[in-house]
């Protein structure tokens, strides 16, 4: 059986080389020749003994648990998500399910380089807590090649130095602007879509044109590089458009502060035309509903993680329908790209996920798939080999996002398009898409040579 696995892996490795070379529009220059018979380095898996693909941590010659392809080896990817008590648990559970569905499809299509990919064995609940994240990372690190998901900007920042030391790359379940800059993310993070900072600027450009002139803007959000990044974008937009910026109101999850009463008071007292919101879904409903109940007359624009369809079952639903606009980096589950069609086919006709966290989990997985394919084509699925394959990587999102090449220059490669939606109880997932592929002059002209917030 082992010889059969090696033979199949040799054929698979040759196929990956051909696939990646075709995608790049050239030959396999720079990739390790598939027939090269180098002696394996210490710690390499059995697969390297044939000289085809070098491996080390998190890659085994034995098949994955509940394998799809019994003759394939296994690549183990870790997942650190908010699954129970954190402010994004409702989204986190669906993100995990979406990524599991994505990798199941990859495995059903034959895997990568003679390996199936497992993203379930090392899934842990970080509770959106940086300390918990650090502890869990150290627990799973000895057994995984990379991280299929690390949810939350502060939790991910907490483990970046360790990831750098360990040569562990990861996919963030967040959109901090630092993920576009190697100075902040050590060149380890495979992000997708815009950043919170760019999101705020696109949103305000669009809102100013479509929802009435903006003369003043403020931001409300969690401290750190989620709320702080969204606020930095709002401030940059205000400065560029000669609009009054009324500041950043820091709040926290209700589990920490008990309620959003203090933030509501500051919003109502500000009289702002627009409020950029960067909190969790429950806090969003409380902010919008509470402010409207207390006479606030402005509008709210919610960052990606602010929305959950369950909010339409809350007392805040009428206020959300009246004054809340949601921004996203790609179309919701009901979109019509090739990627969206694959998602819909996976769940079956007429079936929907609980929320669009499922869609996030699927779309976020494309960069890791492209990276593993490139590393396999290079003949090196060691941690170092995977990390080295990032530079110049081209990512195919099957139409969910435009194809993207990682150049290391955020001004050149950063995504600056958005999708807008409004709460609607009659729509699937209770959000009606009102504009797609939106760009904005402020966002397009923004000098993105460094992160908007944080380091």
Q: Which two tokens stand for residue 286?
A: 């409380």
Give the Cα-Cα-Cα angle 254, 287, 329 (nearest 5 degrees): 95
Q: What is the mean pLDDT of residues 2-23?
A: 46
173 and 155 assigned to the same domain: yes
The answer to whether residue 452 sits within a structural domain is no
Q: Parallel, antiparallel, or unpaired for β 146-151 and 216-221?
A: unpaired
152 and 290 assigned to the same domain: no
Q: Which two tokens stand for residue 357?
A: 């966290």
138 and 263 assigned to the same domain: no
24 and 131 assigned to the same domain: yes
Spatial separation of the C-alpha atoms in residues 202 and 59, rounded to whole Å: 41
108-164 confidence digits (pLDDT tens): 999 999 999 999 999 999 999 999 999 999 999 999 999 999 999 999 999 999 999
pTM of the model: 0.89
Q: Which two tokens stand for residue 58?
A: 């998190």
Q: How far is CA 132 from the centre of its chain?
A: 20
| Count, residues in the chain | 455
Given a cut of 60, whether residue 19 has pLDDT beyond it is no
Tell me the sheet residues that pair with 299: 274
pLDDT averaged over the chain? 91
Helix (H) or strand (E) run with residue 385 in it: helix 383-388
Q: What is the mean pLDDT of residues 156-177?
A: 98
**Contact criterion met (CB below 8 Å) for 86 and 129:** yes
Q: Which residue range is the domain that position 201 belongs to? A: 196-328+416-445
257 and 366 assigned to the same domain: no
pLDDT for the residue numbered 203 = 99
Q: How far is CA 346 from the centre of its chain?
A: 20
The answer to whether residue 125 sits within a structural domain is yes
Spatial separation of the C-alpha atoms in residues 144 and 159, rounded to whole Å: 15
Q: What is the mean pLDDT of residues 2-19?
A: 47
The answer to whether residue 450 sits within a structural domain is no
**pLDDT confidence tier of residue 36, bands split at 50, 70 and 90:** very low
Query: Which of 433, 449, 454, 447 has its CA nearest to residue 201?
Result: 447
Longest dimension (CA), the chain: 74
120 and 202 assigned to the same domain: no
The number of folded domains in the chain is 2
**Contact criterion met (CB below 8 Å) for 210 and 230:** no
The answer to whether residue 278 sits within a structural domain is yes
Spatial separation of the C-alpha atoms in residues 419 and 327, rounded to whole Å: 6
**Contact criterion met (CB below 8 Å) for 226 and 174:** yes
Helices (H), 130-195: 130-140, 153-166, 182-185
Distance (Å) of CA 195 to CA 179, 439, 453: 8, 13, 11
Spatial separation of the C-alpha atoms in residues 177 and 324, rounded to whole Å: 24
181-211 confidence digits (pLDDT tens): 999 999 999 999 999 999 999 999 999 999 9
Spatial separation of the C-alpha atoms in residues 455 and 452, rounded to whole Å: 9
203 and 187 assigned to the same domain: no
The answer to whether residue 67 sits within a structural domain is yes
Residue ranges with strand state E in 15-153: 54-55, 59-60, 73-81, 115-118, 123-125, 146-151
pLDDT for the residue numbered 9 = 54
148 and 136 assigned to the same domain: yes
Spatial separation of the C-alpha atoms in residues 105 and 363, rounded to whole Å: 13
pLDDT for the residue numbered 149 = 99
Q: What is the mean pLDDT of residues 295-317?
A: 98
Q: What is the DSSP letter of 311?
A: G
172 and 204 assigned to the same domain: no
209-261 confidence digits (pLDDT tens): 999 999 999 999 999 899 999 999 999 999 999 999 999 999 999 999 999 99
pLDDT for the residue numbered 39 = 32
Spatial separation of the C-alpha atoms in residues 273 and 188, rounded to whole Å: 39
The answer to whether residue 453 sits within a structural domain is no
Q: How far is CA 92 from the centre of its chain?
A: 11
Q: Residue 365: count other Cβ atoms within 10 Å of its Cβ.
A: 28
Q: What is the mean pLDDT of residues 94-100?
A: 99
Q: Which two tokens stand for residue 294?
A: 């207390």
150 and 239 assigned to the same domain: no
Give the Cα-Cα-Cα angle 428, 303, 353 (nearest 5 degrees): 30
36 and 183 assigned to the same domain: yes
Spatial separation of the C-alpha atoms in residues 179 and 132, rounded to whole Å: 21
Given a cut of 70, whether residue 15 has pLDDT beyond it is no
CATH code of 441's domain: 3.40.50.2300
**Contact criterion met (CB below 8 Å) for 47 and 59:** yes
Q: Which two tokens stand for residue 291?
A: 């402010």
The answer to whether residue 221 sits within a structural domain is yes
Spatial separation of the C-alpha atoms in residues 204 and 210, rounded to whole Å: 10
Given a cut of 70, whether residue 35 has pLDDT beyond it is no
Q: What is the dihedral of CA 398, 400, 406, 411, to 10 degrees?
A: 150
117 and 206 assigned to the same domain: no
Spatial separation of the C-alpha atoms in residues 237 and 138, rounded to whole Å: 40
pLDDT for the residue numbered 2 = 41
The answer to whether residue 454 sits within a structural domain is no
């Amino acid at each position: 059986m082992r010889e059969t696995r090696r033979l199949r892996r040799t054929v698979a490795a040759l196929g990956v080389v051909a696939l990646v070379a075709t995608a790049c529009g050239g030959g396999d220059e720079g990739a390790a020749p598939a027939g090269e018979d180098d002696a394996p380095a210490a710690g390499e898996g059995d697969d390297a003994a044939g000289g085809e693909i070098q491996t080390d941590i998190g890659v085994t010659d034995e098949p994955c648990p509940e394998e799809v392809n019994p003759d394939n080896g296994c690549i183990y990817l870790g997942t650190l998500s908010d699954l129970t008590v954190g402010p994004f648990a409702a989204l986190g559970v669906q993100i995990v399910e979406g990524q599991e569905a994505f990798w199941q499809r990859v495995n059903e299509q034959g895997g990568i380089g003679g390996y199936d990919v497992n993203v379930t064995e090392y899934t842990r609940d970080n509770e959106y807590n940086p300390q918990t994240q650090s502890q869990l990372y150290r627990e799973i690190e000895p057994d995984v090649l990379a991280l299929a998901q690390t949810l939350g900007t502060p939790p991910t920042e907490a483990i970046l130095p360790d990831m750098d030391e360990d040569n562990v790359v990861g996919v963030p379940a967040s959109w901090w602007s630092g993920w576009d800059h190697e100075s902040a993310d050590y060149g380890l993070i495979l992000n997708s879509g815009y950043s919170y900072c760019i999101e705020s600027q696109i949103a305000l450009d669009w809102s100013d044109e479509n929802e009435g002139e903006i003369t003043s803007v403020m931001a409300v959000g969690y401290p750190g590089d989620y709320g702080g990044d969204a606020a930095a974008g709002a401030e940059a937009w205000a400065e560029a458009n000669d609009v009054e910026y009324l500041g950043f109101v820091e709040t926290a999850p209700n589990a920490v502060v008990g309620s959003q009463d203090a933030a509501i008071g500051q919003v109502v007292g500000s009289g702002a035309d627009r409020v950029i919101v960067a909190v969790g879904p429950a806090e969003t409903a409380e902010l919008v509903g509470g402010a409207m109940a207390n006479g606030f007359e402005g509008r709210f624009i919610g960052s990606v993680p602010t929305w959950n369809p369950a909010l339409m079952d809350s007392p805040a639903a009428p206020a959300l329908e009246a004054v809340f606009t949601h921004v996203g980096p790609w179309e919701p589950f009901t979109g019509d790209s090739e990627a969206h069609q694959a998602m819909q086919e996976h769940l079956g006709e007429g079936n929907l996920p609980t929320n669009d966290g499922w869609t996030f989990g699927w779309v976020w997985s494309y960069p890791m798939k492209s990276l593993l394919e490139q590393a396999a084509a290079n003949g090196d699925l060691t941690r170092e080999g995977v990390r080295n394959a990032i530079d110049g990587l081209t990512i195919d999102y099957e139409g969910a996002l435009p194809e993207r090449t990682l150049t290391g220059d955020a001004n050149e490669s950063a995504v600056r398009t958005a999708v807008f939606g409004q709460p609607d109880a009659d729509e699937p997932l209770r959000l009606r898409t009102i504009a797609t592929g939106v760009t904005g002059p402020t966002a397009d002209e923004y000098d993105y040579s460094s992160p908007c917030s944080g380091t």
